[in-house]
Amino acid sequence: MGRRLGQHFLIRQSVLARIADEACPEPGATVVEIGPGRGALTAHLLDRAARVVAIEVDPVLADYLRLKFQHRPNLEIVAADVLKCDLARWAPAAVAGNLPYYITSPILDKTLALGPLLTRAVFLVQLEVAQRLTAPAGSRDYGFLSVHAQLFASVSLLFPVPRAAFRPPPKVDSAVVRLLPRAPDPSLPDPAAFLAFASLCFRHKRKTLRNNLLGPYPKEALDALPAASRRAEQLSIPELAALWRALPPL
Ligand code: SAM
């Protein structure tokens, strides 16, 4: 089994049980599991959820899972690349997984794009990503990823997971994060347009907002706004939104 697909399997049962408890706090839920591997987390999810849909890109592992769980009628194995799947097919659902780290960002995008169809998400990710996802404005790790995730969800770092909990042990530290979707903000009716603005704001980390926004936005408009002399990482989501509203629409 190659490591190319991020195949570091979580073997510590206590950690697997905690992830499943967080993904499935109540019975009756559908859980979409991303990257089930050999089914270590799947087994815990099956004990708690009404239905588990497990998406595994490695066809050898998908066949192995079909055999291993042949007597579990509440499991559907989907042998596919999660990035090519329409997760809404199984929604409303919780989404969970010990993620393949090389595609964490697009998986987060896809999960957050479920909007109200997402009940919750619980992911094992690289510790550094967990810190960025949960970072408050003004902190070292706060950036576009924090804004994107926190715009749509209330994000918590639940607990760190040591390297020794995996086989083979990965070269990076890991942590479990939980994303609980937020109700849409009525003052931001077009979140995609706001996120496009936010990505411009964070374009170059050390530059001021004025310098990052100059070009798409006119100099005079930026000079008139005191907040534009600050750096994006100093502004909370409501402050970034206020700046966006104060600028002329693109
Ligand atoms: N959840 C398992 C565990 O904890 O033991 C395995 C997790 S392992 C970190 C990541 C899993 O994601 C592997 O089984 C890998 O084959 C699978 N994977 C990698 N890329 C994928 C993709 N694009 N779509 C679906 N699964 C993928």
User: Residue 35: pLDDT above 80?
Assistant: yes
User: Residue 108: pLDDT above 60?
Assistant: yes
Q: Is 119 helix (H, G, I), strand (E, B) or coil?
A: strand
For ligand 1, whether the C-beta of 54 sits within 6 Å is no
Percent of the chain with pLDDT over 90: 92
Ranking 91-100, 120-129, 183-192 by mean pLDDT, the lowest is 183-192
Say what the pLDDT of residue 3 is. 53
For ligand 1, whether the C-beta of 103 sits within 6 Å is yes
What are the angstrom distances between the C-alpha of 221 and each of 96, 122, 210, 237, 242?
44, 41, 10, 20, 14
Residue 170 Cα: closest atom of ligand 1: 9
In this prediction, residues 104-126 reach a mean pLDDT of: 97
Helix axes 191-201, 237-246, angle to 10 degrees: 100
Say what the pLDDT of residue 1 is. 44
For ligand 1, whether the C-beta of 104 sits within 6 Å is no
Tell me which DSSP letter residue 185 carries: -
For 140-195, how does the pLDDT look when each residue is reduced to its tens digit (9 = 90+)?
999 999 999 999 999 999 999 999 999 999 999 999 999 999 998 888 989 999 99
The edge-to-edge listing of strands for the beta sheet with 174-181 is: 75-79, 51-56, 30-34, 93-98, 118-126, 174-181, 153-161
250 CA to middle of ligand 1, Å? 40
Mean pLDDT, rounded, of the chain: 95
For ligand 1, whether the C-beta of 57 sits within 6 Å is yes
207 CA to middle of ligand 1, Å? 37
Q: Which residue CA neighbors atom 1 of ligand 1 most closely?
A: 36
